[in-house]
């Protein structure tokens, strides 16, 4: 089971990214977050969300939700393109195991785009 994101509900508000950084570092430290919103202006504000797990990247884009093995991303590129590279250096999602209320990102998402599956 892991965190998944419904890309058609997501509005790229970044609340999950801030929340995850806070969970990790007790501060709004975006670089500590293992869930990241990316946006490319050259593609008319196209955006997606990437989540780092121990072995996979979960990638939510308007085209749909995709789970890619980290080894495959390193060898073959893709999986979020340039945005994937800093993701690989981050800690993996721990499902907020120290919280009684479960994943903070899920709790804070204003449009219920985050779910567990
Ligand atoms: S909090 Fe929800 S709506 Fe906002 S970026 Fe994250 S998944 Fe998308
Ligand atoms: S479940 Fe916790 S550790 Fe995982 S992405 Fe959400 S806030 Fe971050």
pLDDT digits (tens, 9 = 90+) for 26-78: 888 888 999 999 888 777 778 899 999 999 999 999 899 999 998 776 554 44
Confidence at residue 78, expressed as pLDDT on a 0 to 100 scale: 45
Q: How far is the CA of 75 from the centre of ligand 2 (A)?
A: 26
With a 6 A CB cut-off, is 50 part of the ligand 1 pocket? no
Q: How far is the CA of 94 from the centre of ligand 1 (A)?
A: 18
> Is there a contact between 105 and 21 (Cβ–Cβ < 8 Å)?
no
- pLDDT, mean of residues 7-34: 91
Atom of ligand 1 nearest to the CA of 6: 7
* pLDDT beyond 50 at 79: no
Q: What's the CA gap between 49 and 15, in Å, rounded?
A: 11
């Amino acid at each position: 089971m892991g965190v998944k994101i419904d890309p058609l509900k997501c509005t790229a508000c970044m609340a999950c990214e801030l929340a995850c950084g806070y969970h990790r570092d007790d501060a709004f430290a975006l670089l500590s977050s293992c869930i990241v919103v990316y946006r490319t202006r050259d593609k008319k504000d196209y955006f997606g969300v990437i989540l780092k797990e121990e072995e996979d990247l979960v990638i939510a884009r308007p085209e749909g939700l995709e789970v890619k093995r980290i080894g495959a991303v390193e060898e073959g590129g893709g999986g979020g393109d340039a945005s994937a590279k800093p993701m690989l250096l981050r800690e993996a999602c721990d499902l907020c195991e120290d919280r009684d209320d479960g994943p903070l990102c899920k709790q804070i998402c204003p449009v219920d785009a985050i779910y567990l599956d």
